[in-house]
Structures are given as structure tokens and as C-alpha cells.
Amino acid sequence: MAKPKEDFNWESFDTKGFGSGYDAKKRAELEALYEGTITQVNEKEVVKGTVVGITDRDVILNIGFKSDGLVPLSEFRDVEDLKVGQEVEVFVEDQEDAQGQLILSRRKAKIVQAWSNIQKALDNDIVIEGIVKRRTKGGLILDIYGVEAFLPGSQIDVKPIRDFDVFVGKKMEVKVVKINYTNDNVVVSHKVLIEKDIEKQKAEILNNLEKGQVLEGVIKNMTNFGVFIDLGGVDGLLHITDISWGRINHPEEVLKLDQKVNVVVLDFDDEKKRISLGMKQLTSHPWDSLPETIQVGSKVKGKIVNVADYGAFLEILAGVEGLIHVSEMSWSQHLRNPQDFIKVGDELEAVVLTLDREERKMSLGIKQLTEDPWTKQDVLTKYAVGSKHSGVVRNLTNFGLFIELEEGIDGLVHVSDLSWTKKIKHPSEFVKVGDKLDVVVLELDAENRRLALGHKQLEENPWNTFETIFTVGSAHKATIIQKNDKGAVLELPYGIEGFSSAKNLVKQDGKTAEVGESLDFKVLEFSKDEKRIVLSHTRVHSAAEQAEEAKEVKKTAKAKAPAKASLPEVEKSTLGDLEALSDLKKQMNKDEATAEKKAKAKKKEDGE
């Protein structure tokens, strides 16, 4: 409504028309009376109004304006038994719409008032109450004065909350910690209300804390290395090794979240406020109740609780374990990884090898449950020298290989006993681990658990035959298989190998023979004991050397021949006839002795 002009000249107004008959005094009274009935109203403000009427659709409100306002009846659903004359707060949306109607809203009035109250709570650190409407990702949604506020899960309590649904529909006191008007976002916290009380409790607990003190707590968090226990405002760590005397892999095997437990204080740090707790210490150690009937040599049963590279631990009672070293698992000397033999959870029987109750240590053995194969009565006859066997190659070394003939019975095959004909530098050139190999027993030492085995001895020594084939001076076809600066390795018939020096590899055209070439070679040297054959290709094609050789042989034979009569006999002999050559040598030696004897006699006569 337009405000009347203060400078309006009533005196100059036509006295015969409107307002005639009013003097200045009367006019002042009327103005005062009029101003008392009209209230100054601004849009977008919250004002109080009085219910003057209720229809099926609207509530009629008088806010002291020139006209009454209407509010939808639906906005009063939360008001029970609404009556005429009742005062309510409303929001002025429009003083006069197109129809000249005053537009009011109770819903918006509540929102404006709610935000005002929320801001006031933040500014003055006031505790307010809200109702949990629903849970959402990461927390809860609260209704505060009709405005939705977010309560993060981390701000619900000082301990982790795992089930948010239990709070839905319940009232909760909170403090406003953040307002974002741009997004109409309000963040509240319930945790801050209890932190002050917790700090007091924490200080009181720490002041009275002592080692050995037994406390009651609630498990609030669980990890693979232990559990955190709420002691009433102070957290303590119960390490997994202090939960039980027995071995466990995870705390969840014996404990649960929110479980009440009794613990003992093992240690604490005032500065860092760290508290170490124990549970197993509340009971006696299982070693103290270990039956006296368990002694060295006793058989015990248990379950494997851990497997390491060096052995496995057998738990015979909760908290009482014994070590089964890898060397005590089998009579075999080739068990290297216990996991190939034993697994966690296996139930086994073992023999007590050592027992120290004071140190709480015990060593166990499994192989002792079976007879030592080296102490069996038939071991001397079963593995007698010359007996033949088949075994599995278990290990290779530079000097030979080890064969397992049966579990616990191993033998060594030296590299020199693998082949009669091939020069083997390393056993890997002949076999590999896991192969089966036939062997013969060469030596047996049962007392020291030693067996010397051979593979080549399964066949006769071919060098006795080679001695008659590869005679000095005989020629044979050979192939060069290896070569270096000193010479070459040759492959001869029957799989035998020979050697030729570099100078004896020169061919007739002056070039040196190469790897892969097959040529004729003459035997220069043969040694059965050393299993060595030295050959030359050059000697085969060198005519000059052959002639010189023949000349030297002829000269030697002529000088040593005693008479012509014996020559036909010599000529009748063949070079291959070893007996004839032997007789010829004897005759020549006899003739030389006779000639020397005659020469000495003549010299004596001349001297006389």
C-alpha cells in the first residue's frame, strides 16, 4: 500500500469534497488510528500471523497487512488440531500477486528458521538434536529443523561403526561442524560430544596403568598382526603372538569384533600412549603341564602348524611344538624341501629325539618310525661287490654322480666309471638328474654308509681288444670332432677317441685338416692303461718319411742279421706274427752276445 504523502496540503483541499469537515486535530487522530491498524510487511521475510479462518484447501492468516493471506492446508499437516486464533510463523513470498492476493508459505518459513537455527548452533557451539532418517554411503542422514544434515561414519563414535542401520529412526545429539549454503549442505558430528569425556577417562586410565594389571576391554578392530582393544577410551594392541599359546594364522580364528575380553598389561609408553596387551599370559604355559610320560624315544602325535626351509613344526599340545628337521624326515639324503614331503595341517606321528623342558624345546623325527636301511641284515648280501642294480640319479657333481638305489641307500659313480671309450669331463654330458641308470657295486662300506658304483663295468673292458686292433703303425679311418691350438680329438671305429697333435694334421696339399673331415690316420702310440691313442695323418701321406722309415728298418735288420742262412727264415715271418718276431729278437740278442764274447777273447789274446 502506498504511503500517504507527508506534505499533502489538507487545507487547500476542496472543503466541499472528500475530507470536508476535518480540522487539523481531527485529521491527526484519524492518521494515528489508521497507522495502528496497518503493519509494515517486507517480502522474503518471516512474520507471525493469526489464523482467522480454515477452509478445505487453505488456511487464512492475518499478518496485520491490508489484506489477509492464504497458506495451503497441506503445510499444516504436522500441526495437530489447528484452530482459529492460533499464531504461526509464515514466509512472505509476494505482497500482491496478479489477483491482488497476499501469498504466504509456512514451509519456507520453517526452512528459513531452520537455517537460522543451524547457523546459530555453529556460531555458538550449541548442541542440537536430530532424527536419523536413513543411512547413506559413508554415514547417516539426519533431520535437523526440517533440513537434511550429513553425519559421516567416522563422526558417529570414537570406535568404528560397522552397522549404520541400528541408528535409523533414533534421536541423536550432534554439533554442527560445517555449513555449505551453495549446496545447502550441513555436516554434523556426534563424536565430538564424547571426545571430551573420553580424554578425561583416558588420562585417568593412563595415570593408574601398571604392568601386570588385568583389564576388561572390547575388540574394536582386527588385523592380521593383532587386534585393537578399547579399554574405555584408551586403545591397546593385543599382538597375535600374545593371543594364544598355540600357533594361529589370524586373530579371527579365536576372537570376534565387539567381543569383551580380559587382558593383561604387558608394557606401555606414557609419551606415545601405546599399550601392549596379552591374553595368553592369563593362563599357565602348556609346557608346564606336559605329561612326564613324554620322554626321549616316546612316540607323539600332532598337527603340522608351520613348514620352513629347514623343517616343520609339529604341535602335540596347544602351545607345545617340536621341530622335525628336514634331515629327520626321511632316510633319503636327497630330501631338500620339506614342503615336498609335509604340508600345514597334516596329522603325523613322530619320535622324540631331544627334549628340554626348561628351555621348552623339542626335536622330533619321522624317519625313526621305519628301520634304517643301512642296518638291515640283508644289506651286505643285497649290495655285495659285483651285484647289479638300477637307481635314480639324484645329484651331479664335478667328480661324479649320486644314485639312489632305494630310500636311504645312495652310491657314488665316479665320472671315470661312466664310459670305457669316451672321456667325460662332467657327468651332465652323460646323464641328467632324474634319469635311471644301471650300475654295478664296486665297493661296499656299510659301517660308513658308502657305496662305490660303476656303470662302464657292466661291459667288458674293450681296451683289451683295442690293443690288438690299434697297433702302432696301423692305419685307420678317423673323423675330427674337436680341435684347438694343440691338436684335435678324433673319433675312431668302435666309438673310441684318439688324439693328433697340430703338426700331424697337415695334409698332402699343405693345408691343415679341419673339424668334420674324415681321413686316414696312422697310430703312433697306444696305451691301454692310460686309455690313450696318439695318431698322425701326416705320416700316412709323407713318402719321404716312409722311405726313411723303410731304410732305417732295412739298415737295422742287416746289421743285426748273423748269417744269410737265417734270412730266409726271417723273410718267411710276417709282421703280424708276434711269436716269430719274438724268436727273431731272441736270436739276434744271442748272436750279439756271442760276437761280443769273441771280440773280448781276441782282444785278450792280442794283449797277451
User: What residue ranges do the domains of the chain occupy?
Assistant: 23-106, 125-194, 209-282, 286-369, 373-458, 463-541, 547-599
Whether residue 202 is predicted with pLDDT greater than 80 in this model: the reply is no
The topology under which CATH files domain 373-458 is: OB fold (Dihydrolipoamide Acetyltransferase, E2P) (2.40.50)
Distances (CA, A) of 215 to 236, 244, 261, 273, 275: 11, 17, 8, 16, 12
The topology under which CATH files domain 286-369 is: OB fold (Dihydrolipoamide Acetyltransferase, E2P) (2.40.50)
Mean pLDDT of 466-470: 86
State whether the Cα torsion 389-392-397-398 is positive or negative: positive
The topology under which CATH files domain 463-541 is: OB fold (Dihydrolipoamide Acetyltransferase, E2P) (2.40.50)
Confidence of residue 560 (pLDDT cuts 50, 70, 90): low
Whether residue 9 is predicted with pLDDT greater than 80 in this model: the reply is no
Beta strand residue intervals within 366-515, DSSP E: 388-396, 400-406, 409-414, 436-445, 450-454, 475-483, 487-491, 497-501
Average pLDDT, the chain: 79
The answer as to CATH 2.40.50.140 being correct for domain 209-282 is: yes
DSSP 8-state code for residue 3: P
Q: Give, in words, the CATH class of 125-194.
A: mainly beta
Whether residue 597 is predicted with pLDDT greater than 70 in this model: the reply is no
Confidence of residue 440 (pLDDT cuts 50, 70, 90): very high
Mean pLDDT of 292-310: 90
Tell me which of 35-49, 146-160, 256-270 is least confident.
35-49
Fold match between domain 23-106 and domain 286-369: yes
Closest CA to 419 of 469, 456, 460: 456
State whether the Cα torsion 418-424-427-428 is positive or negative: negative
CATH-assigned architecture of domain 23-106: Beta Barrel (2.40)
Q: Which 3 state secondary structure label does DSSP give 89?
A: strand
